[in-house]
A and B are shown apart, each in its own frame.
Chain A
Amino acid sequence: MTVYEEQFPGLWQGFAAVVKRDLTLAWKRPGDVLNPLFFFAMVSALFPLAVGPSQEQLQLSGPGVVWVAALLAALLSLNSLFLSDFEDGSLDQLILSPQPLPMLALAKALAHWLVAGLPLVLVSPMIAVSFQMPGQTVEVMLITLTFGTISLSMLGSIGAALTVGLHRGTALLSLLILPLAMPVLIFGARTVSLAAANDPVAAGIYFLAAYCILTLTLAPFATATALRISSE
């Protein structure tokens, strides 16, 4: 028994190793982090240019724009979630490792959130200010975006695992994930709108938190099964 324990790292050690590895890789390729951020900022800037500079209109559409832009930016980086691992063969190593694969899938998805989701959340107040959002709205936006981007990373990891190694993977991934992400978008954007109108926001935040926990619990199992199928 002790021999076994010495030979194989524990559950959390394997988890931490995967997260650490992905963060190191992201650090060495800063483009992976920065491109979605630029995309997020640019899409948000497109709307005032397209719709016009009217302050009232911007205030009304701000929450929706920030959420749609965040959703698309998160989607943009999902394609690469398992791609490099698939190409260099480390995905097979993950699958063959004695660690439970759902745990490693969770680690991959959380690393994706740290690299792609969290920066979006941190940058969003800047965009909110440019849409004339009042202070308490920004607070609600930060909370909803945090829960929302975690859910998106979890949902997205299922899609990325299903499409890894396929041609035309990127467009297909969006087609698979966007309908599933609809609840997050609806509750996220509407809750921020409610906050802007000084309406109660608890229901939306509770829903997003619950959905976040649901995806954290179930998505790793779907991702793990999908990875096994894709790497056959």
Chain B
Amino acid sequence: MTDALAMGGYGVYVWSCFGLTLIVIIICTVQAWRRHRTIFNNARTQIRAMKSD
């Protein structure tokens, strides 16, 4: 198990690359969904504000 993780001495490089990939994909995902939700909620708030006027 530790052999597989060590990657023949290159473990740090290989795992940091895969970890970084995962982080970037997660950041992109969070950004996309959060942006959608913010815009959705803003639209709702704006319409409510218009109606209550």
A and B touch in the complex (CB under 8 A): no
A interface, CB within 8 angstroms of B: none
